[in-house]
Chains A and B, each alone.
Chain A
Amino acid sequence: MTHAAPKPGKPIWPRIPPGFVRAVLAGHSSLGLAFAVLIYVVCFSGTVAVFAREFQRWERPDVAPITSVTPQVVERAALQAIAHGRNVEHVFISAPSPDYPRLVVTVDDDGPNRTWLAGADGRLMSSGETVWTEFLTALHINLHLPRTWGEFIVGLTGVALLSSLISGVLAHPRIFKDAFHLRWGGSKRLQEADLHNRLGVWAMPFHVIVSATGALLGLTTVIVGALALAVFQGDMDKAYALFLPPHPVDDPRPALAPPKIAYAVEQALARSPGGQVSFVGLEHPTERGAGVGVSVTQPNRLAATDSYTFEGGGRLISAERMGEASLGVQILNSLGVLHFGWFGGGLIKIAYGLLGLALCAVTSSGVAIWLARRRDKGRPAPRWERLWIAAVWGQPFALSGSAFVGVLAPSPILPLAVWIALTISAGLGTAWLSPASLSRSLRMASGALMLATAALWTLRQFRNVEDPMAWMVTGTIAATGAILLVHALRKAAPAGAEVLAHSKA
């Protein structure tokens, strides 16, 4: 039996009832509007935070890159850090990696945590504090709110984004018919819809991965809490214990000898041939009940970290090789790597940066479609148009300002204070400026602040730079600032947000 070939142009996709599409579109619209600002802030800060390692190197350019360290160097750095602390609870050592070629030592003792950068010989050299990068990552992870609440809100934002992706696909009956349409400069609504749909559809794998992993990372505490409540009588430690290595037996008496760190690292490397030590954690290093945790990273793996725990004397008490771990443990160890784009070096980071900008544009254009639709129907919302422009262009403005003060006066509180002040001032600008002027002013100010940041950094650091990555970051900041400034100053044909204002003026 033979079948006639379908006529050219006949749709192969089942027809979706228009009533269903309209209902899903209503839900998509209301959810997007309710979470637009949160989604945008989280996505924009996340896009910049993809390059957090590079920004850390930029903030501390005075340390030369280190490609690898010996177990003895790790031990030397750890013992120096222990000597600097009082009643040391933990010492955390991050070994050099290709994207962060530094030996970083953090001490958790009676006072606030302190971080040092160590040289290739293990000697502690300078403070490893990177205040602006810390500000940036905390903005993305918990919006600088109390940790549990902030992470929950960011997780909820991830769920809202995931839900918008689901409803966006369902509300898009012309998904194949319009697959390559990108019309720019005609009808505002058509332009924004094309941008929204093309960026949304073609980057869908990225959007789904970052929203699902981000939501799960943010909601971990709530999910584990629910699980513990249902099946462990509310004891969350029992749930976490399924994933964490065992602790050494507690013995608070003073240690007779320092923990055998180099020996533990050598043993871990011998058990994971081909790997590179990535992290060493010491627990109660000055007590007899000391423990040494060693992580070894394997190449070409998504869940790449083998974990070993030793007693202070060097006896192995647990080993978890990722190749032999359960599927659940492998997935768990892949979540952060996939979310932050840490699985393919600089190339994937650049792709994540571009796709992250695409996600910001999807969010921005989604609200712009709603505003344009209102205008087309004779119900313009000029105040919302101004506020949305302030939200969209206020973020590069506020982040640039925070980076500038991060270079000018590195203090943990200043970047956040400036970010809040500039975000508010962008919002206040809506009282006096038209949408077009507001957009142009914020882009100009952002560009100028980026150029000023690059110039100030060069003035302050050019004699100290040991890490070439710092120059690349400075150059990128300056180039981005110049592009923004030129774009804002140029008298181009109306495009983007200002069309809204011009088209009905």
Chain B
Amino acid sequence: MSPELTTLLAGAPILAGGVLAVWLLRAAWSNRGPSRPWRVAGGWTVLAVVSLAASQALGDARGPFIAWTLISTAALVVVATGVQIRTARARAEKSLAPEPSERQSRAWRGWLRALLAGPIGMIAAMGVAVAFAVCAPLVPQTRIVIGGLMVPVLWGGAMAWTLADDRILRATAVLVGVSIVTFTAAVLKGF
């Protein structure tokens, strides 16, 4: 049997498993009776079993990615089937959602925040990645690739933090400090 046909045939049980798992979780969510913990456990167990079975049938690395992609799709279908259609109202309903904080709107804070989220955050993330690529006890290719993968994650994290943190000077000190320490360590040690 060709790998493409195997994947196609495996797709049906994976999708069915995803639907079952998310349906169990939704049943637990909507009914807070004594069976709720069992439904939660059942839902997560089905997800784990589907992921493991996919890795066995479709490849150790490939199988779980196929499973998670199809489970996400199945989950959206289950969520869509529970849609509540409401009547449009001219007046807005009172929202329970939290409101974003109102900040001091000084120009220098805005510019500094943009610099921290952008170039300074990028340099700090690259500093950590380069230091990892230089210092980690792994083969060179692995150090470099994992270091490279760290850049978007760390930069994204730095962006989220600096755009949220009102103590902007603290964020500046941390990011600049991290950049100096990590790049210095990398240059001193060498590849």
Contact = CB atoms under 8 A, between A and B. Distances in A.
Interface of A: 8-9, 18-31, 98, 155, 158-160, 162-167, 170-171, 173, 176, 179-191, 193, 198-199, 202-206, 209, 211-212, 215-216, 219-220, 222-223, 226-227, 230-232, 239, 242-243, 299-303, 326-332, 334, 338, 341, 343-348, 351-352, 354-355, 358, 372-373, 375-376, 493-494, 499, 502-503
Contacts of B166: 23
A178 B134 CA distance: 44
A184 B79 CA distance: 12
B100 A206 contact: no
A179 B25 contact: yes
Contacts of B6: 300
A182 B160 contact: no
Contact of A223 (B26, B97, B129): B129
A453 B6 CA distance: 35
A173 B6 CA distance: 41
Contacts of B151: 215-216, 219, 223
B153 A212 contact: yes
Nearest to A206: B72
7 contacts: A22-B99, A31-B163, A155-B152, A179-B25, A181-B84, A301-B62, A348-B7
Interface in B144-181: 144-149, 151-153, 155-157, 159-160, 162-166
B142 A326 contact: yes
Contacts of A326: 139, 141-142
Contacts of B133: 227, 231
A343 B63 CA distance: 9
Contact of A231 (B7, B93, B186): B186
Nearest to B58: A300
Interface of B is mostly: helix
Contacts, number: 287
Chain B, interface residues (CB within 8 Å), range: 35 or more
Nearest to A35: B159
B93 A190 contact: yes
B98 A343 contact: no
A24 B90 CA distance: 30
A328 B65 contact: no
Contact of B146 (A26, A331, A334): A331
Contact of B95 (A160, A187, A215, A239): A187
A344 B62 contact: yes
Contacts of B141: 242-243, 326, 328-329, 332
Given A23-B165, A27-B160, A503 B88 contact: yes
B3 interface: yes
Contact of A219 (B26, B62, B147, B152): B152
B33 interface: yes
A57 to B, nearest CB: 16
Contacts of A355: 69, 72-73, 76
A344 B66 contact: yes
Contacts of B7: 344-345, 347-348
B93 A186 contact: yes
Contacts of B87: 185-186
Contacts of B89: 186-187, 503
Given A23-B101, A24-B164, 13 more contacts: A25-B99, A28-B100, A180-B30, A189-B92, A205-B68, A206-B68, A220-B148, A227-B133, A230-B183, A231-B186, A326-B142, A345-B4, A352-B69
Contacts of A190: 93, 95
Nearest to B123: A226
B69 A351 contact: yes
B107 interface: no
B40 to A, nearest CB: 9
A50 B98 CA distance: 36
Interface of B: 2-4, 6-8, 11, 22, 25-26, 29-30, 32-34, 36, 58-59, 61-62, 65-66, 68-70, 72-73, 75-76, 79-80, 82-90, 92-93, 95, 97-103, 117, 122, 126, 129-130, 133-134, 138-149, 151-153, 155-157, 159-160, 162-166, 183, 186-187, 190-191
Contacts of A202: 22, 72, 75-76, 79
A416 B141 CA distance: 38
A20 B161 CA distance: 11
A474 to B, nearest CB: 23
B144 A25 contact: no
Given A167-B164, A326-B141, A331 B149 contact: yes
* Closest 6 A/B residue pairs (Cβ): A27-B163, A186-B86, A328-B142, A215-B152, A328-B145, A162-B156
Given A31-B159, A328-B142, A358-B76, A302 B69 contact: no
Given A22-B101, A29-B100, A173-B98, A8 B36 contact: yes
Given A162-B153, A206-B72, A215-B152, A302 B62 contact: yes
Nearest to B26: A180
Nearest to B190: A231
Contacts of B26: 179-180
Nearest to A31: B163
A5 B185 CA distance: 51
A344 B59 CA distance: 11
A344 B3 CA distance: 9
Contacts of B66: 343-344, 348
A270 to B, nearest CB: 21
B73 A354 contact: yes
A376 B69 contact: no
Given A31-B159, A355-B72, A231 B130 contact: yes
